[in-house]
Structure 1
């Protein structure tokens, strides 16, 4: 080996936390620096960059932002790692051979930098026992992934605290009629690759989901307009301006809430599309702000203008963006009091959640629902598992025992005297539920503990009514779509038939609320009969929403009293569900506050407990609040663990190829970064 003064090549070997790594690992880098051989890199950096840029055009904007954040996080951690005997500038090393600093993706198709794991290898024949906490869609998907890989000497157990599987995928049936149902949890799905593979494997019947309906009402400040009339809604259609006796400046209502949000948000969309790096930096510049703060301090809106926009706005699109991504028509809906108090970057990324720099068609991402209810997916997944979930098994504590090389994880179930031992734990519980588990020292990273304590979970309440018939179709000619209003019910979702030959369902999702609105509606949940205060509120609100529709026989408006009589006469029963009061979720979905996505997301996707503990679920993904995020997180966690098993010689590297062949690749975090995350998890203490 050529002599060098750089401490990186000390003759006694590199000491990483007291563990020696042999010098042969650095042979290629010595030759690279001293010019003794051609570097082990693609032909030129420029070529790689161009290739990577082409690849990035196939990724959604949220995925690209997630990649950038995780890459930066790994880069910084390598730079600040404590390498005791050789004070190596890892930032130099990583920027040269792994990342092109400031660019969002790895330069190499594989990483030559990760050294072999020190210590005695684990015998491949030793059993691998895996614990999956939670039988929601993440936990069930993990089981399916493990079954498909058929790893030798590997078994898994799924522990579910409640008495049913599915988690936030939950369908309520109003009796034996298969058509009398509504989805209490997840109810709409984008046509994207991970979901498509799962639905195809489970033989799921999908039906197009229609956001828009031509005859759907918008009702604000006691004034009704149909959505088909929106093009003519100018000059304060809901009479909230000062000239009409309201509090909102006339210039605000004349411009319109939708137009103002387009003006405020479109620059971010345009920059992300034209030059992602510049757009990402621009977005991060305001990541510390709430949406309300940005509209006040940067756009210059007054208090009542912001309240008006939060209440009535639906779209955040510029004309340029509209022509490029038509599906963004439904990308953002404020539809909840208080959502402007959350992160600006979260609001913008929500609008771009499944949008891509180069759309493959003119319609954008298509949306679907599951015929018969989303729980059909859970039932199909359960049938394909080799290990049935254990219900009623609430985990109270998780501990990491570093001295136990084979099964270092201890999981305590509340009904059992002794903890169970596992090789690895995949915790798919929601973060609020995870917070109630006693996790000992070394089980979590410090950043993960802060994230679990701090990540904001939004409230969501759904209330559906079973009527004798679909009166909204009969009397108002409404087929699909949704109504929006400042009434307490906020959003009303109209059912559409499962097929063209079917009659519309008689189940109406009368109220779908988030945030503060959801908490207020949840306080009225009663016994499910029409005598309750909640039932009265539903009938009253629906009558107000539909009173101005014209009776085709008399050719006059129904009016409030007549419409109320129709609705009350059709009313049979209701079902209401508040996700915040569900002890097994303690919230509907993660909705990050200012700076939380940038700081907490890269922590939540990191292995913990020396590579034996993985946090999985929608909150631990870029696409939080979506089932696709749950699936991505399960794939990510398993891939990280497979890297550990490969490093230890317990499984062959081709297992990763088998995973990609069967289930596709993970776009959210590149495989090279997952490998680095696992390596760093084993060389640093938690």
Structure 2
């Protein structure tokens, strides 16, 4: 077989033989109907057989719309391992409740088709590769059932392109795609719920083109609540569009979780540590973050390499401390930390032999491998079938791993209690740094010279309306018949201890954490039940960092420069600096890096224990805390506490869970929570859609990638603001949405059309007569 051949054409089932070394793409074009189109493709990829689904769904009949739309290139197949045969089937469904690739009873095979084959012409230039194209024109029903004037084969067109010796495009960076598809899948399910006349929700027909209301110009500015990275980014966006706003921060400082503590007792260039975000991987999901730092703030020269690993750092468990180099050089069967049953522990020897790293490498690796063995949409669907599980329940009930072993994995590889988080969230997060499609690829990590605070300082310099501090929002209410929102601010925490004040705005954008929004009075503003439940239910994990300043970076005498040590003692993780040296500090020579370290970095239950001892500088509890940290540091590094007390200069602890302006470090979705909570947080509230939610919890890039999530959520909020309120446009003759996308680029997470439909549903749900309060 020298080129692709159409083997059979029975009705609307087609078989095409593909020779070895040919690359195939399949696209589907459909006409606008009130029903769904579906193409199934049976194929073989990498020796594994699979079935892919290419689906398109429309819900509103419009006789004026006869043009075709496309699913673009929906499937790519290589045949490098040998020839193969792909089988293509065409279906349609008149049941408008069917969505995506869900196969329901009301599914019909398309009635007939016509196939036209094109091959490379014999007169084609030699540099043109061999190719074959199959155009499959599909008819869904007999001509008598067609719309008047319809062509015979215009219901669906399937295009199969096959090219010889074609180098396929590089693998999609699953780390970013997995997170964005999780959000798009949740939004699709949410929209179907309100666009299904037979389902439980109120039927909301979605128009193909949203109407543009006749708005009058806005007389009030937009309020941005919170001057963290999300609020500052929104301000930069509104500046570029000429929209009036006020940026209001409840605390006495700017930056939110971009927080760098500079030690005051012995100041110097590198006498600091990052309390909040501290390291940035150069991966696809961080594109907007790097664009902000490099291109919009000019901080390219301020980006320093971040040192993630150091073989001279320590692992300390069960009272035994060894270097990471020794662990790497020792076979797993050697129980260095005496956890095995043969060493009087409680972990079966077989699990010790496999190593605790088997959790990430083998168990989660098998789930990540889904994205190698299957087209992305198939892999994602398979993963979503496990969405009911926590990590613990999956390991216990699916993998059959003993409970003690599960907790051993958790102790060695994670935070205490973090295995109670959603399994799918854990897998998607692991794809960020362990994408099997890029196995062996080195990821460059960075930190900022001067700490992450230089980002928010540069952003503050950029914005025209500078943040106003000590404006803590305590109540929101709809005023002027819903045409404005009045915010009540408590200003008593400021140096002047001013009384409460009310201010009126056209729109309010809240970048506060949902935990902080929970304590704001929202009784007089319309929120759906889903939004109120989301604000109340979403958990924010605690996180504690304790920074210590020493006379010298004594750990460098042990050969440690950068990297991290870990232990089962209360301090859990120790992070050594990747920046320096500081010649202005006594004793800095001849050391390489700063003499300030994160002596304790904890999360979940570990943080709760440490945070309980944070009662204020000089308190009896914090004396206990400091003594505990020094003792643990000494134990991990095989030193005596007295040696470290001689080096000690200062300390600074921080607990995000007990910070009144955060009430938690980052959101942690439980099983099924993201799918059911995320859609409600991404459409605006109030009767006229004037309250908008931003921040990393409202992004698919949430959790430990909070800067990326905060920036992506800001894009969605501003785009939604422009779609819902064109009266904000200072120049009505200018296409402000086109201007916005030109300046700030597209979003990985949202297509503007999908967002418009999402906002339209919010508008309908907010109508007073709506019986649906989801």
Category of TM-score, reference length = shorter chain? 0.7 to 0.9
CA distance, structure 2, for counterparts of residue 81 and residue 585 of structure 1: 42
Equivalent pair of 1:399/1:441 in contact (CA under 8 Å): yes
Which runs of structure 2 are paired with 1:156-235 in the superposition (5 Å)?
156-175=245-264, 176-191=267-282, 192-200=286-294, 201-204=296-299, 205-231=302-328, 232-235=330-333
CA distance, structure 1, for counterparts of residue 480 and residue 279 of structure 2: 43
Which runs of structure 2 are paired with 1:382-401 in the superposition (5 Å)?
382-401=460-479
CA distance, structure 1, for counterparts of residue 682 and residue 605 of structure 2: 29
Cα deviation, residue 196, structure 1:
1.5
- Whether 1:483 aligns to 2:565 is yes
Equivalent pair of 1:480/1:494 in contact (CA under 8 Å): yes
- Whether 1:409 aligns to 2:491 is no
Cα deviation, residue 207, structure 1:
0.9
Which runs of structure 2 are paired with 1:603-682 in the superposition (5 Å)?
603-609=680-686, 610-625=688-703, 626-646=706-726, 651=732, 654-682=735-763
Equivalent pair of 2:171/2:437 in contact (CA under 8 Å): no
Equivalent pair of 2:449/2:579 in contact (CA under 8 Å): no
- Whether 1:246 aligns to 2:345 is yes
CA distance, structure 1, for counterparts of residue 765 and residue 385 of structure 2: 31
- Whether 1:471 aligns to 2:554 is yes
Deviations 1:505-551 (A, max 9, x none): 0001110000010111122236557992222212211111111xxxx
Cα deviation, residue 220, structure 1:
0.7
- Whether 1:63 aligns to 2:157 is no
2:481 counterpart SS class: coil
Cα deviation, residue 577, structure 1:
0.6
2:697 counterpart SS class: helix
The answer to which structure, 1 or 2, has the higher relative contact order (CA under 8 A, 6+ apart) is 1
CA distance, structure 2, for counterparts of residue 56 and residue 596 of structure 1: 30
Deviations 1:480-516 (A, max 9, x none): 1000110110000011234899831000111000001
- Whether 1:462 aligns to 2:545 is yes
1:122 aligns with one of 199, 202, 215: 215
Cα deviation, residue 455, structure 1:
0.6
**Residues 444, 636 of structure 1: alpha-carbon distance in 2 compared, 3 angstrom cutoff:** same
CA distance, structure 2, for counterparts of residue 647 and residue 680 of structure 1: 20
Equivalent pair of 1:207/1:369 in contact (CA under 8 Å): yes
Structure 1: unaligned runs, 5 residues or longer: 1-5, 9-23, 95-111, 314-333, 548-559
Deviations 1:61-90 (A, max 9, x none): 212222222233223322359999xx9895
**Residues 637, 44 of structure 1: alpha-carbon distance in 2 compared, 3 angstrom cutoff:** farther
Equivalent pair of 1:7/1:88 in contact (CA under 8 Å): no
CA distance, structure 2, for counterparts of residue 219 and residue 117 of structure 1: 63
TM-score w.r.t. structure 1 length?
0.80
1:583 aligns with one of 660, 670, 677: 660
Equivalent pair of 1:60/1:354 in contact (CA under 8 Å): no
CA distance, structure 1, for counterparts of residue 477 and residue 579 of structure 2: 50
Residue equivalent to 1:308: 408
Which runs of structure 2 are paired with 1:122-521 in the superposition (5 Å)?
122-123=215-216, 125-127=217-219, 129-150=221-242, 154-175=243-264, 176-191=267-282, 192-200=286-294, 201-204=296-299, 205-231=302-328, 232-235=330-333, 236-274=335-373, 275-313=375-413, 334=414, 336-353=415-432, 359=438, 363-401=441-479, 403-405=481-483, 408-415=484-491, 419-440=502-523, 442-474=525-557, 476-498=558-580, 503-521=592-610
Cα deviation, residue 668, structure 1:
1.1
Deviations 1:322-363 (A, max 9, x none): xxxxxxxxxxxx1x110011111121122123676865x963
Which runs of structure 2 are paired with 1:1-16 in the superposition (5 Å)?
none
CA distance, structure 2, for counterparts of residue 56 and residue 42 of structure 1: 32
Equivalent pair of 2:279/2:446 in contact (CA under 8 Å): yes
Cα deviation, residue 680, structure 1:
1.9
Equivalent pair of 1:398/1:443 in contact (CA under 8 Å): no
Equivalent pair of 2:218/2:506 in contact (CA under 8 Å): no
Deviations 1:141-179 (A, max 9, x none): 1000101122xxx31011211111111111111123121
**Residues 31, 78 of structure 1: alpha-carbon distance in 2 compared, 3 angstrom cutoff:** same
1:78 counterpart SS class: coil
Cα deviation, residue 55, structure 1:
11
Residue equivalent to 1:99: none
Which deviates the most, 233-242 or 425-434? 233-242
CA distance, structure 2, for counterparts of residue 540 and residue 494 of structure 1: 17
Equivalent pair of 1:640/1:677 in contact (CA under 8 Å): no
Deviations 1:641-666 (A, max 9, x none): 11123499885673223222222211
2:547 counterpart SS class: strand
CA distance, structure 2, for counterparts of residue 502 and residue 114 of structure 1: 64
Cα deviation, residue 29, structure 1:
4.1
Equivalent pair of 2:225/2:509 in contact (CA under 8 Å): yes
Equivalent pair of 1:252/1:305 in contact (CA under 8 Å): yes
Deviations 1:529-586 (A, max 9, x none): 7992222212211111111xxxxxxxxxxxx4xx433212111111101111100111
CA distance, structure 2, for counterparts of residue 354 and residue 113 of structure 1: 39
Equivalent pair of 2:194/2:203 in contact (CA under 8 Å): no
TM-score w.r.t. structure 2 length?
0.71
**Residues 441, 393 of structure 1: alpha-carbon distance in 2 compared, 3 angstrom cutoff:** closer
CA distance, structure 1, for counterparts of residue 737 and residue 443 of structure 2: 29
- Whether 1:34 aligns to 2:147 is yes
Bigger proportion of residues as strand: 2
